[in-house]
Amino acid sequence: MKSLKFVLILLGVLILISACGRATQTPAPPVSTRPEEAGGVSGQTDRDLALKGFKDGGCGACHIIPGVPGAAGTLGPDLSAIGQTAQETVLSSTYTGQAKTAADFLRESISKPDAYIAADCGGKACQKGLMPANLAETLGDAELDAIVSYMLALPAQENAASGVTATPQSTLQAGNAPELSQADFDWAKQTYFERCAGCHGTLRMGATGPALTPDVTQPMGTLALAAIIFNGTTGGMPDWGKQGLLTQEQTEIMAKFLQQEPPTPPEYSLAQMKETWKVLVPPAERPTQPQTQRDWQNYFIVTLRDAGQVAIIDGDTHEIVNTVNSGYAVHITRMSATGRYAYVIGRDGKLALIDLWMEKPDVVAQVQVCYDARSVEVSKYNGEKGNFEDKYAIVGCYWPPHFVFLDGQTLEPFKIVSTRSYTYDTEEYHPEPRVASILASHFKPEWIVNIKETGLVWIVDYSDPNNPTIKMIEAERFLHDGGLDSTKRYFLVAANQSNKIAVIDLLEEKLVAKVETDAIPHPGRGANWIDPEFGPVWSTSHLGDGAIVSIGTDPENHPDHVWKVVRTTPLPGDGSLFIKTHPDSKWIWVDMTLNTDPVLARTICVVAKAQPDAVHKCWQVADYGRAVHFEYNKQGTQVWVSVWGDASKPGQTGEIVIYDDATLKEVARIPNLVTPTGKFNVYNTVYDIY
Ligand code: DHE
């Protein structure tokens, strides 16, 4: 444990050191940067000691440190010239600590990490609290002196006399994977699947999060990896330790696991799927008309993530009509074309079919089609080529990387299509191209299937589902989530690690644009509205930047603005997951769910469509948890927001807060829900209203 503390101290030190030069505002005595004067030491032995400290601490995971093998991280400040900038920092008017010399500044940064927060960490604001403040005592004096001395002498080429020179990269010792007991390995494998695979990939090749293959993780080392897992990053990596979901020991086990070769999980056949397939109520025994007096089209299917359930809630009365078991860590729900059926997909690839016409809606069929899934969609087309309403469903899997066609009424799986293929740009084989969002075209019997890692949008014709034709459109790597424009002709999908939105014309079936956005766009399905200056736009918020970006979507009447970013609306923070509006609303709603500041994480904002340059209002929806995801009721008059709490904390497990959309006033709370996340109104989901 001491070793972990060490790295956290060190990370904190380095994070807090500003690499930014600032103008001196007040006269101050000259500050020495010479190691001897600073109380540090120089020479080969101490350089080796410093390098050992940097290596043991895994400082290179977060910082660029010249001469330190593998030190190319960007979570913390670039330390290339820290010997110079430390001096400028203590003299600057923005410095908030007590140090008078550069060396004292470095030591202070270790012993009191919050004394001063550097401004620039890899182009972003530095993160407060990346390391605990009470860890200085675990760092030995000699090592501390050596590290301080080393940093004071940077940039090395200007301090050659000090004996500090850059170490050639060839001396990098990647090291071997640390030992891990079988029990720890098995636990970490399962934990990785549950918490990490979604962003980093089952084979750890990276997508929403960076690659975590041994060539990347071994040079970072156990301590640095554990620190990042414990503390999270501003780039959207959750702070698993701080949230109390992993202990420090567990983060170390995870860090060791990440340095092993990733285990390849097994395949999954149609025969295996069929073994799990159950029709609980056959179609012939189901109601022929709605059995309820309620307006079932105004039901909300609410994900209760950690309960492995969904709640069916009446949008008029706010009563819970039923709570049913679905899959593990339930992810999303989509409705059949008529709205009568809800299809709920769990992360474990379990699909549940709920009949909303029953007096008490319940699961009528279920099946597991893979080990790891995120998306489900239905056949919606009704036209010249036939009526496919409520006929088929499709599930998109992360592992094995495939999608599966199922009978829409019984969930009998009947066709598997593998997505293993080649990247659209470099034409390299990828063993794990995962299925991200899937969307049903309103114009043709087609599903738009987004293949994350290869960057291809597959247009899958389901009119002859045993012999499907697939058009593969080159788009952008790391496709994730997206939605339709207001005419439903164009599909806008976030290539989130590429910071782009790809636009697909569903009529002509071609890519029409790739639009550069801010960092890590994450639209959910996005928000369509009329900008007072630029006409129809579709908006996304971002995980990596505090901003809403709006893109013109009207080629007919606003050709000058089409497929261009026409407006950027700043938000108080980053970490946003979802944005939502309704054609009748004057607002755009946005969350900041994954912001590292707990207050911002439970704060939501609205932007007025009439004055979209700035947010109109922001407020906390609860005093615990995270605010996540919005959904309108069928009438478009109320907005539901989830408070994503902690399943193990009675009273704080989560709730839904309902606001009047016209006044922004709270109208109701549905309390004591277990970790509610996504909410899907039947009517709005069927008609793609957002
Ligand atoms: Fe989601 C949509 C994948 C984490 C809640 N999420 C999607 C979609 C994908 C996806 C591909 C689009 C589905 C579609 O439209 O067909 N989500 C992933 C991940 O890979 C990721 C980043 C990590 C993981 O391990 O799963 C992830 N998602 C989350 C969460 O942590 C959220 C907030 C809560 C949860 O489920 O654990 C979450 N994702 C949602 C929701 C939607 C979604 C509510 C649908 C939004 C909508 O309005 O359509």
Q: What is the pLDDT of residue 48?
A: 85
- Percent of the chain at pLDDT exceeding 70: 88
Residue nearest to atom 44 of ligand 1 (CA): 678
Atom 21 of ligand 1, residue of closest alpha carbon = 198
Query: Mind spelling out the 3-state secondary structure of 90-158?
Result: HHECCCCCCCCCHHHHHHHHHHCHHHCCCCEECCEECCCCCCCCCCHHHCCHHHHHHHHHHHHCCCHHH
pLDDT mean over 285-314: 97
Residue 131 has pLDDT above 80, yes or no: no
**Tens digit of each residue's pLDDT (9 = 90 or more) over 163-211:** 444 443 333 343 478 999 999 999 999 999 889 998 999 999 988 888 9
- At residue 134, the pLDDT reads 57
- The per-residue pLDDT for 484 is 98
**Rounded to a whole number, what is the largest CA-CA distance in the chain?**
89
Checking if the pLDDT of 14 tops 70, the result is: no
254 classed as catalytic? no
85 with 21: CB under 8 angstroms?
yes
Q: Residue 35 has what pLDDT? A: 38
**pLDDT surpassing 60 at residue 11:** no
402 is catalytic: no
Q: Please give the number of the atom of ligand 1 that sits closest to the Cα of 483.
A: 15
Residue 284 tokens, joined: 């012939």
Work out the pLDDT band at 283, boundaries 50, 70, 90: very high
Helix/strand/coil for 621: coil
> What's the rounded mean pLDDT across residues 570-595?
97
Ligand 1 pocket, Cβ-based, cut-off 6 angstroms: 198-199, 208, 305, 329, 331-332, 374-375, 436-438, 480-481, 524-525, 577, 628-629, 677-678
Residue with the larger pLDDT of the pair 216 and 607: 607
Per-residue pLDDT band at 328 (split at 50, 70, 90): confident
Q: Which residue has the higher pLDDT, 102 or 56?
A: 102
> 23 or 187, which is more confident?
187
Supply the residue whose CA is at minimum distance from atom 7 of ligand 1: 481
Q: In the prediction, which pLDDT does 135 show?
A: 58
200 is catalytic: yes
Report helix, strand or coil for 572: coil
Q: Which of 20, 199, 205, 618 is catalytic?
A: 199
Ligand 1 centroid vs 27 CA: distance in angstroms?
54
Distance 555 CA to ligand 1 centre (A): 30
Residue 25, pLDDT score: 35
Q: Are 116 and 26 in contact (CB under 8 A)?
A: no
pLDDT in tens, 610-661: 999 999 999 999 999 999 999 999 999 999 999 999 999 999 999 999 999 9
Q: Is the CB of residue 559 less than 8 Å from the CB of residue 535?
A: no
Ligand 1 centroid – CA 630 distance (Å): 13
Q: Contact, 381 vs 358, CB < 8 A?
A: no
Run of H or E including 257: helix 248-258
- Mutate-to-test residue for ligand 1 from 208, 332, 345, highest number of ligand atoms within 8 A of CB: 332
Cβ neighbours around 264 below 10 Å, total:
11
Ligand 1 atom closest to the Cα of residue 195 is 25
Residues 64-80 pLDDT 10s: 888 887 777 777 788 88
Residue 491 has pLDDT above 50, yes or no: yes
Q: What is the pLDDT of residue 44?
A: 64
Ligand 1 atom closest to residue 207's alpha carbon, by position in its atom list: 20
- Which ligand 1 atom is nearest residue 685's CA? 49
The question of whether 472 is a catalytic residue gets the answer no
Whether the predicted pLDDT of 246 surpasses 80: yes
Among 101-110, 376-385, 572-581, name the one with the lowest average pLDDT. Answer: 101-110
Model pLDDT, residue 138: 60
26 has a pLDDT exceeding 60:
no
How far, in Å, are 196, 391, 409, 532, 598 from residue 336 at the CA level?
Answer: 31, 8, 10, 35, 37
User: Is the confidence at residue 113, as pLDDT, over 50?
Assistant: yes
Instruction: Give the separation between CA 407 and CA 404, rounded to whole angstroms.
Output: 10
Contact (CB, 8 A) for 621 and 643: yes
Compute, in angstroms, the gap from residue 323 CA to the centroid of ligand 1: 21
Read off the pLDDT band of 54 (50, 70, 90).
Answer: confident
Report the atom number in ligand 1 closest to the C-alpha of 452: 11
pLDDT of 22 over the 60 cut? no
Q: Which of 237, 335, 358, 605 is catalytic?
A: 237
Annotated active-site residue 196? The verdict is yes
Separation of 374 CA from ligand 1 center, angstroms?
7
Residue with tokens 């993780």: 217
Q: In what order do the strands lie in the sheet with 446-451?
A: 435-440, 446-451, 456-461, 469-474
The yes-or-no answer on residue 629 being catalytic is: no
- The pLDDT assigned to 137 comes to 62
Residue 181: exposed, middle, or buried by beta-carbon count in 10 A (0-12, 13-18, 19+)? exposed
In tens, the pLDDT along 398-430 reads: 999 999 999 999 999 999 999 999 999 999 999
The model's pLDDT over 350-388, given as tens digits with 9 standing for 90+, comes to 999 999 999 999 999 999 999 999 999 999 999 999 999
Per-residue pLDDT, averaged over 425-442, amounts to 97
Mutational test site, ligand 1, from 331, 399, 576, 646, max ligand atoms within 8 Å of CB: 331
> Which of 625 and 51 is assigned the larger pLDDT?
625
Mind spelling out the 3-state secondary structure of 213-255? CHHHHHHHHHHHHHHHHHHCCCCCCCCCCCCCCCCHHHHHHHH
Catalytic entry in 63, 200, 442, 582: 200
Ligand 1 atom with the shortest distance to the CA of 678: 44
Q: How far apart are the first and last CA of the chain?
A: 48
SS (H, E, C) 41-90: CCCHHHHHHHHHHHHHHCHHHCCECCCCCCCECCCCCCCCCHHHHHHHHH
Q: What is the mean pLDDT of the chain?
A: 88
Position 31 pLDDT exceeds 70: no
Least confident of 40-54, 164-178, 207-221, 532-546: 164-178
**Structural domains of the chain in order of their starting residue, each with its CATH number:** 182-259 (1.10.760.10)
- Phi, psi values for residue 595, rounded to 5°: -65, 140
How far away, in angstroms, is 109 Cα from ligand 1 center? 38
Over 70: is that where the pLDDT of 542 sits? Answer: yes
**Confidence (pLDDT) at 109:** 82
Burial of 663 (0-12, 13-18, 19+ CB in 10 A): exposed
Only one residue has tokens 């579709």, namely: 538
